[in-house]
Amino acid sequence: MLEGKQLTLLQDINLAVSTGETIAIVGSSGSGKTTLLSILAGLDLPSEGEVYLKKKPLHQLNEEQRSQVRSEHVGFIFQQFLLISSLTALENVMLPAELANDDNAQQQALDLLAQVGLSERANHFPAQLSGGEQQRVAIARAFITKPDVLFADEPTGNLDRETSTYITDLLFDLNTRYGTTLVLVTHDLTLAERCQRRVEMQGGRLIDDQYVNDINTEQSCAVKKVEII
């Protein structure tokens, strides 16, 4: 509600994302892509409509239940990296595995740090790392629980072109290796082009939906008619 008027952020959204699919949500600033992402990931709830993630009806779940779903199925990568500044790179990567009560968190984290090329930096704190390195730690952190779905919010938004390319390669490489469904929000058309599917948003609506390649059709994430006040 803004000055008594209803403000509709998302409208008539019908979207189904299949397992293993990589999908880019593009659109100008304020088009509603980030809002959509937060609803898809169960961070936020729509005021109307239904949202399913791995067959779980997110719209019927409370905060705690959605947390549970996230810890089982979801990974995140953020534009601001959002590493915990007082934990080392290794500890940051371990975090989601620990939350899922994985006993082998440390070894897995070391493996993943090796995969993103940061073995040497395992005991460094975020402030001691460059932007690109921080995002690599964030990527390692996102993959440690082998999530079914990975949500990435402008993952290259804070990086220079060269680093962006490196991070994008890394992201898609790991994604293929782990068979993860990737939902990413971006302004960056080069990044969007790397995805199998591209949806475009404008004024809270989906205006375009293009498939680049054929994909597996198992439904894993559905949003039907999402509306936010």
Partner 1 sequence: MKLPVPNWAKQSVRLLTHELKRGELTIIVLAIVLGVASVFSLTGFSGKIKQALLNESTTFIAADRVLQTSREIPFQKQTSEPDALSFDEISKRSQALNVKQAEQVLMSSMVFAGDVMALVEVQAVSSSYPLRGDLLVRYSSKKNKSIKVNAPELGTVYIEEKLLSLLKVSIGDVIEIGESSFVIKAIAEQIPDASFSVFTSGVKVILNLADLNKTQLVQPGSRLTYKYLFSGDIDAMHSLTQWLNPQLNDSQRWYDIQSKQSPLANALNKAEKYLSLASLLGIILAAVAVSVASRRYAQRHQNNVGVYKAMGASLSHIRKMYYLHWSLLSFFSILLGLLVGYILAQLGFHAIKDYLPVEFTIDSASDISFTGLITLGFYPFIIAVFTGLLCALAFAITPLKELIATSQLVVIRGRNLKPTNQKTIVRLRQSVIPLSALILLLFVFSNDLMLSASLLIGGIIVSGLLLIFGRVLMKVTRNIGTKAGASWHLALANLQRRAQENSVQLVSFTIAINLLLMIIVIRSALLSEWQAQLPDQTPNLFLVNIAQNQVDSVEQFLEQQDISASDLYAVIRGRLTAINSDKISKNVSKERMDGSDNGRKGVGRELNLTWRASLPNENTVIQGKWWQSELADANIPQVSIEKTLAKRLDINVGDSLTFQLGSEVITVPVTSIREVNWQSMQPNFYMIFNPKVLADYPASFISSLHVPLDKKVPLQEFLSAYPTISVIDVDAMILQLRKVIEQVSKAVEFILVLVIFAACLVLVAQVQASMEEREREIAILRTIGAKGTLLRNSILLEFVALGAIAGLMASVAMELTVYLLQSNLFKMQTSFHFEYWFFGIFAGASFVGLVGLLSCWRLLNMSSVTLIRRTM
Q: Which string of x and - marks every residue 34-73 that binds partner 1 (by CB under 8 A)?
A: x--xx--x-xx------------------xx--xxxxxx-
Question: For residues 130 and 193, which CB has a smaller minimum distance to partner 1 in the complex?
Answer: 130
Phi, psi of 31 (to 5 degrees): -80, -15
Of residues 131, 187, 196, 222, which one binds partner 1 by CB under 8 A? 131
Question: For residues 90 and 170, which CB has a smaller minimum distance to partner 1 in the complex?
Answer: 90
Separation of alpha carbons 76 and 78, rounded Å: 6
Separation of alpha carbons 120 and 109, rounded Å: 13
Question: For residues 20 and 75, which CB has a smaller minimum distance to partner 1 in the complex?
Answer: 75
Separation of alpha carbons 228 and 203, rounded Å: 12
Q: Which string of x and - marks every residue 66-95 that binds partner 1 (by CB under 8 A)?
A: -xxxxxx-x-x-x-x-x-xxxxx--x---x
Rounded to a whole number of angstroms, the minimum distance from the CB of residue 42 to partner 1 is: 9
Residues 135-174 that bind partner 1 (CB under 8 A): 153, 158
The 3 state secondary structure assigned to 79-104 is CCCCCCCCCCHHHHHHHHHHHCCCCC
Which residue from 200, 153, 199, 148 is spatially nearest to 175, judged by alpha carbons? 148
Question: For residues 60 and 80, which CB has a smaller minimum distance to partner 1 in the complex?
Answer: 80
Question: For residues 19 and 65, which CB has a smaller minimum distance to partner 1 in the complex?
Answer: 65
Verify binding: residue 106, partner 1, rule CB under 8 A. no
Separation of alpha carbons 79 and 61, rounded Å: 27
Separation of alpha carbons 178 and 20, rounded Å: 9
List the structure tokens of 212. Answer: 């680049």
Of residues 29, 101, 213, 217, which one binds partner 1 by CB under 8 A? 101
Question: For residues 55 and 213, which CB has a smaller minimum distance to partner 1 in the complex?
Answer: 55
Cβ neighbourhood burial of 44 (10 Å; 0-12, 13-18, 19+): middle
Angle value at C-alpha 38, between 151 and 64, nearest 5 degrees: 100
Of residues 54, 111, 119, 125, which one binds partner 1 by CB under 8 A? 125
Of residues 56, 61, 100, 122, which one binds partner 1 by CB under 8 A? 100
Separation of alpha carbons 116 and 120, rounded Å: 11
- Contact residues toward partner 1 (CB under 8 A) are 34, 37-38, 41, 43-44, 63-64, 67-72, 74, 76, 78, 80, 82, 84-88, 91, 95-96, 98-101, 125, 127, 131, 153, 158
